[in-house]
Amino acid sequence: EYILRKKAKSYKDFPIAMQLLESSTFIDSMVPLFAAAEIPLLTIHDSVLVHESHADIAEDFMRHALAPLGLYPTIKREEMWLL
């Protein structure tokens, strides 16, 4: 129903609403958790980049931030090589 209401005025409204929700969730909810734990991170769309030693806590923070929204994501870890 929410999706249909958002799309009623313009098909662009729903994707914009989802982008705002995603960005506010990551920036307003997750980043403060990492900052309080003094864990450096980079946010990349719907992902966070942390040192592998912080991967477990990063998953916990993501789940903690998303659960109040009723979101229980499947989290995929990827190893990255940076120059």
Locus of tokens 């966070």: 48
Cα first-last separation, the chain: 46
Quick one: what percent of the chain has pLDDT higher than 70?
93
pLDDT band at 3 (very low <50, low <70, confident <90, very high): low
pLDDT at residue 22 is higher than 60: yes
pLDDT at residue 6 is higher than 70: no
Q: Which of these, 23, 35, 33, lies nearest to 65 by C-alpha position?
A: 33
Are 43 and 27 contacting, i.e. CB atoms less than 8 angstroms apart?
yes
The token duo for 17 is 């609403």
Positive or negative, the CA dihedral 69, 21, 52, 41 is negative
